[in-house]
Amino acid sequence: MRLAAAAVILLISTAGAACGDGRDAASQSTAKIAGFIRVDQVGYAATETKQAYLMTTAPAAGARFTVTDARSGRTVLEKTAGPRLGSWNSAYPDVYALDLTRLRRPGTYRVRAAGDVSPPFRVGGTAMFRRPADDAAAFFGTQRDGADVIPGEPRRRPSHLNDRTAKVYARPAFTGSDTDEIAGSLTKIGGPVDVEGGWFDAGDFLKFTHTAAFADTLLWAARRDGGPDPRVEAEARHGRDWLTKMWDGKTLYLQVGIGSGNAKGTFVGDHDTWRLPERDDADRAKGHEYLRSRPVFRANAPGKPISPNLAGRVSAAFALAAQVEDPRRARTDLATAARIYAMAKTTHVGRLDTGLPHAFYPEDAWHDDMELGGAELALAARRLGDPRAATWLDQAAKWAGQYIAHDSGKDTFNLYDVSALAHADLVRAGRGRLNTGKLIADLRAQLNAGANKAAADPFHAGAVYTDFDSVPHAFGLVATARLYGAVSGDRRYDAFATAQRGWVLGANAWGTSFMVGEGTEFERCPQHVVANLSGLANGAVVNGPNGTPVFEDGLDDYLDGMNHCPPDGVDANARFTGHGSRYVDDVRSWQTSEPADDFTALGLYALTLTAAGGGR
């Protein structure tokens, strides 16, 4: 059973006449009250605020708990549960805070109550968070496409070598605004182009410039801000090399592959079959021509302007590489970044380019991308002694002003809003030249939005877990707090950042780590083809809980060839559905269990900053 803590039986003493929420504790004096202890299963840094949670079936105010050394069994801390934080659902109406902050000695511990025990967790230095960050980098190795795969636990083999001679097609029409079903046929307009390599975007085998650039940006930022790391650097270069292929000097290519087939059923797409990727190159089945020879689509006609979100984030990836690589390669990357940035379409923008269909990634803001691109170009130019640094700094400041005027307050750090990293790097680039007060204030406003949400949540979650992308948003808040502290010197959000990391890694209502392989109870059945057929992809970050309405029609059917996971198909987490949200650990539950590159990149960056002590 995939539960994050052992059941806890609490004997409530008659000494407390009333519970903190006004209910009569004496009436529960002889009752056995079941519950669960939720902890950050990776652990806590010795000097940080440490909080766990006790979720019970009935009032348990004043309950005693102990912390024991996991090896010796010796009690090292004994305390009383803190205040009631609220109700989770009708089955578990009481959640209490367990303050573990006094634990400072390095070691592995368990929380105990009435003979029952939590999962083990570590206390130690911040360096402990390098391991899950490295696991996240290793997941990008699992995601590699092309010839340069990394054989390992998922037993990857070279795949999609036919992408070396891919044909270019006009953008297709779709049968609706919220579907990837193609209305007619595909029309060839060019090629061949070499787009072999890169990463699969998520649990399937499509490749997108939009998400790859975001992930590569954060990999290079992690390498820059966290110090040398061969695994991170190798994946950052792998992503950069594929983005180089997706840019031919005049055209930026947008996407490789199609999601579904067409309405007539004359051909299929990536999402229509469940198979290992190395099978595609030799697949001669009728209607599988676009699996065997995958189509490529353009973001812009040759020499024409590029959607500004793409221009900003792709240029940021190359400019960040230029901040890390040896000077010769760095100048090449800077030149690429500068050319793409200069081609951004910043007037009469219209709908942004992300993927085909746009519903795959419905982004609608771009000032933050242009701010990020300009800030990273300025930092790279300064490193290389390029005189254009001041020009890019001014451009970044312009787009930052537009973001604050028009987009601020709508989102926090994730795939669709990169302003946190953009603001922090613009502060670094602009010291002594720009008035950076508004940038720091906007970072603080993003953190306040998360902190206000957390204050009202029984597990102190700052992300909205009734919508998509709650886990990456939580990791984004961790990264934002670290970036804010680094550029402002204000550490008031450190405890908030710890709570968000804890929520992702097990201190949540489901008691599950939403990062595969991290902790003792984690996502076991991700909707990820390679993981389902060849072995778990450790380090992958999944979506996590989602709003209950997305499950109104139940889970999808199993596809042919899909391993049933869990084998019995039972939702072991059903009892924990609450606050309008549900989490299902099931290979069919793409709404909660599918990992993605952008999710994992944010986790990697947040954990890297944590391991490094906050950021540069």
pLDDT averaged over consecutive 10-residue blocks of the chain (616 residues)? 33 31 36 82 97 93 92 95 96 96 97 78 97 97 97 89 98 96 98 98 98 98 96 98 98 98 98 98 98 98 98 98 98 98 98 98 97 98 98 98 97 98 98 93 98 98 97 98 97 98 98 97 97 93 98 95 96 97 98 98 98 71
Task: List the chain domain ranges.
Answer: 7-124, 128-509+595-611
Nearest to 277 by CA among 208, 194, 200, 165: 200
Please give the pLDDT value at position 19. 35
From CA 333, how far away is CA 324, in angstroms rounded? Answer: 10
Nearest to 545 by CA among 465, 600, 612: 465
pLDDT in tens, 40-92: 999 999 999 999 999 999 898 888 999 999 999 999 999 999 999 999 999 99
In the three-class reduction of DSSP (H, G, I as helix; E, B as strand; rest coil), residue 246 is classed as coil
**CATH number 3.40.50.620 is the correct assignment for the domain at 128-509+595-611:** no
Residue 530's φ and ψ, nearest 5 degrees, are: -65, -45
Q: What is the DSSP letter of 26?
A: G
- C-alpha dihedral sign at 228, 443, 317, 212: positive
Does 128-509+595-611 match 7-124 at the fold level?
Answer: no
Nearest to 324 by CA among 390, 244, 233, 388: 233
Please give the pLDDT value at position 8. 33
From CA 375, how far away is CA 381, in angstroms rounded? Answer: 10
Please give the pLDDT value at position 33. 65
Nearest to 501 by CA among 526, 480, 517: 480
Strand segments, DSSP code E, in 57-206 are: 64-69, 75-80, 84-86, 94-99, 107-113, 116-117, 121-124, 166-169, 188-193
From CA 96, how far away is CA 119, in angstroms rounded? Answer: 17
pTM of the model: 0.94
Name which CATH class applies to 7-124: mainly beta
